[in-house]
């Protein structure tokens, strides 16, 4: 690590921080975490970071993203078929968000505006991503979906949150995350579908889609 406290201004420091966290002692981890927090809280106003966002977060024309979109549409329909109570809200989600190939790029471009305060957000934060030690949060892992987000603008995050929640509900309801082979399996699946229904309906109301 560099000793200069301003080294974090070098964008390459982002990669160094994440790599170092996996191989460092307590003191080094504290230094890394302090620098990481400082870095994540910076606005995306300089050319270097904006260029990075456009390159790595907005490649919606790639074959991988097209496959991802196709999978999302399929998962959405699967949930509609399996849970009739989700039919109305997920049909709206499909029509307004998921079927649009640009939905992910549109969300990312929201934070290109100079008047929008943007920070790095985790993008997939739930209980298993949080590491605990002696009753305290020791770290947060799996930053694969890290992307620019807002500290204040809740509404603009809703379509993205709906899409990710739909993906999670479809995947987890067919995996050992929820299927434990016990009598509570149905209740766990019901819980996640009701949470999905709630966030999608909130988004529909917020955007007045119907």
* Nearest residue to 197 via CA among 127, 93, 69: 93
Residue 154 neighbours by CB distance under 10 Å: 10
210 pLDDT above the threshold of 80: yes
Contact at 8 Å (CB) between 7 and 38?
no
Summarize pLDDT for 104-141 with one digit per residue, the tens.
Answer: 777 777 766 656 667 777 878 878 888 888 888 888 88
Which helix or strand (DSSP H or E) is residue 49 part of? Answer: helix 47-56
Residues facing residue 118 across a β-bridge: 150
Q: What is the mean pLDDT of the chain?
A: 76
CA 175 to chain centre: 20
2 pLDDT above the threshold of 50: no
Helices 185-207 and 158-172, interaxial angle, to 10°? 160
Contact at 8 Å (CB) between 85 and 195?
no
Q: pLDDT over 70 for what percent of the chain?
A: 66
Helices 26-40 and 13-21, interaxial angle, to 10°? 140
Summarize pLDDT for 136-161 with one digit per residue, the tens.
Answer: 888 888 887 777 777 677 888 899 88
Residue 152 neighbours by CB distance under 10 Å: 7
Q: What is the pTM of this model?
A: 0.65
Task: Grade residue 201 by pLDDT with cuts at 50, 70 and 90.
Answer: very high
Cα–Cα distance measured from residue 159 to residue 104, given in angstroms and rounded to the nearest whole number: 9
Summarize pLDDT for 64-110 with one digit per residue, the tens.
Answer: 777 878 899 999 999 999 999 999 999 999 999 998 877 777 777 77
Task: End-to-end CA distance of the chain: give it in Å, rounded.
Answer: 53
Specify the DSSP class assigned to residue 62: S
pLDDT at 12: 42
Domain boundaries, the chain: 63-207
């Amino acid at each position: 690590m560099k000793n200069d406290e301003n080294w974090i201004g070098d964008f390459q420091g982002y990669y160094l921080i994440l790599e170092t966290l996996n191989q460092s002692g307590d003191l080094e981890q504290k230094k890394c975490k302090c620098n990481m927090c400082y870095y994540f809280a910076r606005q995306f106003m300089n050319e270097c970071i904006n260029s990075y966002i456009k390159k790595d977060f907005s490649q919606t024309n790639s074959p991988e993203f097209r496959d991802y979109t196709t999978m999302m549409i399929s998962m959405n329909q699967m949930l509609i078929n399996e849970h009739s109570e989700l039919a109305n809200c997920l049909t709206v989600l499909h029509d307004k968000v998921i079927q649009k190939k640009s939905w992910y790029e549109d969300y990312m471009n929201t934070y290109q505006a100079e008047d929008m305060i943007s920070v790095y957000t985790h993008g997939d934060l739930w209980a298993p991503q949080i590491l605990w030690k002696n009753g305290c949060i020791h770290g947060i892992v799996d930053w694969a979906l890290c992307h620019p987000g807002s500290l204040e603008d809740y509404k603009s995050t809703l379509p993205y949150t709906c899409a990710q929640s739909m993906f999670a509900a479809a995947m987890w309801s067919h995996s050992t995350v929820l299927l434990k082979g016990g009598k509570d399996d149905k209740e766990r699946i019901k819980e996640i579908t009701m949470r999905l229904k709630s966030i999608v309906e909130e988004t529909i109301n917020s955007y007045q889609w119907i």
